[in-house]
Copies of this chain bind each other. A is one copy, B any other.
């Protein structure tokens, strides 16, 4: 049953596969790597260990691949490894793809019945001295922060009763607490959601169980000083949909359903949870939440409808950027009111991108800057050889949420930028004093380049050159040396 890649899986595609495990010491650099950049930039994404069974499967089905760029004294080491999930190991043993289409077990080989099917390919999370690979369909996998070897599934000493764990937990920078949750917490297409508080030592101290009005891809969450808030939108699934065909992807967009915000006080319980009904807009990723008096203010990137071109719409309508493109918006929730709805402000309607980041030291706190890669259509050049057909992320922006102004850095025509993460210059630096780290897929040269951008001047200071194109990350995380120390 050995399955092989065709030529289409190699070469310059954005979702190309590389499959190598190993590293490069003292990477080639153009420009200069600042010596105050001292720590590790972890990245998690997908790389296909074996090609998918179904040609229309989605990039999210690719096996988790954890990588890191380690910075010290102006030098950089790179390393990457597959997350050795049960799925990866079973496929490796078989020499081919045993698992069906994205999160539908109907197409699985009978030999893997009962085995976890997670690819653990979404976000690297660092908390209480541990590194985790996370994906919303399963529990985290603990990863050795130096070798990147997979230590195994992690259940917080048996305290994590949810079968799933969000890829976007949030850490309060003042208390060190991590807030997290699982949706489909008791099984596929279940409406159970379990919310967790985890103290700074990594111990689960609280669990709140709620019932969702329907199953939603609750991809992200936010915390303010007083509340946990989870966007809920009609990218949905049901047991019937999954059973109807092994070719049905897990998610579809049901335009008939309303949107919700789940709001739970940090010191509250299930009885205090509110499901606020609103328009079916999708806040795919949050930036931050703050509580100001009786207002809960939530910012993130929001699309009016289905954010994903590759998940179908129930009504058969095609995906378009007009309804699926996300922009940075502010949602203002009245905590005193018992009525539905919230106020939406579209802050930067001309720049569309779905992977916003901030200076994470300001989570829950007043803050000013959002960072977002997007396509500046006015500057698109002719397509490069080997470039994929969708428009490249050719611009990185810093968006001032107070003034409404933005500064941008145009990245040229040669490639497409992945999510850029913020790394502060040092622990005490003011908000936004530091660097943006983002990997550019340089299609023309068929290689990947890590850009180091001064986040105040919005100017590139250095670029780490890899000799090949690595698989695209989904999300990244910066661990300062003090948080994850290593030998230089």
Contact surface of A with B, Cβ cutoff 8 Å: 2, 4-5, 9-11, 16-30, 49, 74-75, 92, 95, 445-447, 465, 467-468
User: Given the complex, which residues of B lie within 8 Å of A18, measured CB to CB?
Assistant: 467-468
User: Which one of B9, B19, B22 contacts A21 once the chains associate, using CB atoms below 8 Å?
Assistant: B22
Instruction: Give the Cβ gap from A45 to chain B, nearest Cβ, in Å.
Output: 16
Most chain B CB within a 10 A radius of its CB, from A9, A10, A18, A465: A10
Most chain B CB within a 10 A radius of its CB, from A2, A16, A446: A446
Is the Cβ of A92 less than 8 Å from the Cβ of B28?
no
Instruction: Give the Cβ gap from A329 to chain B, nearest Cβ, in Å.
Output: 40
Q: A2-B75, A10-B445 are in contact. Are A23 and B25 (CB under 8 A)?
A: no
Identical chains bound together, number: 2
Q: Tell me the nearest residue of chain B to A91, going by C-beta.
A: B26
Q: Tell me the nearest residue of chain B to A28, going by C-beta.
A: B5
Q: How far is the CA of A5 from the CA of B28 in the complex (A)?
A: 6
User: Which one of B16, B75, B468 contacts A95 once the chains associate, using CB atoms below 8 Å?
Assistant: B75
Instruction: Sort A-B residue pairs by CB-CB distance and give the 9 closest, nearest first.
Output: A22-B22, A468-B468, A5-B28, A20-B24, A18-B467, A19-B24, A21-B22, A10-B467, A20-B22
Q: How far is the CA of A2 from the CA of B21 in the complex (A)?
A: 27
- A–B Cβ pairs within 8 angstroms, 15 of them: A2-B75, A4-B30, A5-B465, A9-B28, A10-B445, A10-B447, A10-B465, A10-B467, A18-B467, A19-B27, A19-B28, A20-B23, A21-B23, A26-B49, A446-B446
Q: Tell me the nearest residue of chain B to A32, going by C-beta.
A: B2
Is the Cβ of A92 less than 8 Å from the Cβ of B25?
yes
Q: How far is the CA of A7 from the CA of B305 in the complex (A)?
A: 44
User: Which one of B21, B28, B445, B467 contacts A468 once the chains associate, using CB atoms below 8 Å?
Assistant: B467
Q: How far is the CA of A5 from the CA of B447 in the complex (A)?
A: 15
Q: Tell me the nearest residue of chain B to A16, going by C-beta.
A: B467
Q: How far is the CA of A23 from the CA of B23 in the complex (A)?
A: 9
Instruction: Give the Cβ gap from A212 to chain B, nearest Cβ, in Å.
Output: 40
Q: How far is the CA of A445 from the CA of B20 in the complex (A)?
A: 17
Q: How far is the CA of A20 from the CA of B25 in the complex (A)?
A: 8
Q: Tell me the nearest residue of chain B to A18, going by C-beta.
A: B467
Q: How far is the CA of A22 from the CA of B470 in the complex (A)?
A: 14
User: Given the complex, which residues of B lie within 8 Å of A5, measured CB to CB?
Assistant: 28, 465
Q: How far is the CA of A152 from the CA of B1 in the complex (A)?
A: 42
Instruction: Give the Cβ gap from A427 to chain B, nearest Cβ, in Å.
Output: 27
User: Given the complex, which residues of B lie within 8 Å of A20, measured CB to CB?
Assistant: 20, 22-24, 467-468
Q: How far is the CA of A19 from the CA of B27 in the complex (A)?
A: 8
Q: How far is the CA of A92 from the CA of B75 in the complex (A)?
A: 11
> 19 new A-B pairs (CB below 8 Å) besides A4-B30, A20-B20?
A4-B28, A9-B28, A10-B28, A10-B447, A10-B465, A10-B467, A17-B467, A18-B468, A19-B24, A19-B27, A20-B22, A20-B23, A21-B24, A21-B25, A25-B92, A26-B49, A26-B92, A75-B95, A468-B468
Q: How far is the CA of A21 from the CA of B92 in the complex (A)?
A: 21
Is the Cβ of B445 less than 8 Å from the Cβ of A2?
no
User: Given the complex, which residues of B lie within 8 Å of A10, measured CB to CB?
Assistant: 28, 445, 447, 465, 467
Q: How far is the CA of A92 from the CA of B5 in the complex (A)?
A: 36
Instruction: Give the Cβ gap from A462 to chain B, nearest Cβ, in Å.
Output: 11
User: Given the complex, which residues of B lie within 8 Å of A30, measured CB to CB?
Assistant: 4
Instruction: Give the Cβ gap from A281 to chain B, nearest Cβ, in Å.
Output: 40
Q: How far is the CA of A9 from the CA of B30 in the complex (A)?
A: 13
User: Given the complex, which residues of B lie within 8 Å of A19, measured CB to CB?
Assistant: 24-25, 27-28, 467
Q: How far is the CA of A468 from the CA of B447 in the complex (A)?
A: 10
Q: How far is the CA of A30 from the CA of B9 in the complex (A)?
A: 13
Q: Tell me the nearest residue of chain B to A82, going by C-beta.
A: B25
Instruction: Give the Cβ gap from A134 to chain B, nearest Cβ, in Å.
Output: 24
Instruction: Give the Cβ gap from A415 to chain B, nearest Cβ, in Å.
Output: 15
Instruction: Give the Cβ gap from A22 to chain B, nearest Cβ, in Å.
Output: 1
Q: Tell me the nearest residue of chain B to A96, going by C-beta.
A: B26
Instruction: Give the Cβ gap from A268 to chain B, nearest Cβ, in Å.
Output: 49
Q: How far is the CA of A27 from the CA of B18 in the complex (A)?
A: 10
Q: A30-B4, A465-B10, A468-B467 are in contact. Are A23 and B22 (CB under 8 A)?
A: yes
Instruction: Give the Cβ gap from A414 to chain B, nearest Cβ, in Å.
Output: 12
User: Given the complex, which residues of B lie within 8 Å of A26, measured CB to CB?
Assistant: 49, 92, 95
User: Given the complex, which residues of B lie within 8 Å of A24, measured CB to CB?
Assistant: 19-21
Q: Tell me the nearest residue of chain B to A78, going by C-beta.
A: B20
Q: How far is the CA of A247 from the CA of B75 in the complex (A)?
A: 30
User: Given the complex, which residues of B lie within 8 Å of A49, measured CB to CB?
Assistant: 26
Instruction: Give the Cβ gap from A17 to chain B, nearest Cβ, in Å.
Output: 7
Q: How far is the CA of A75 from the CA of B95 in the complex (A)?
A: 8
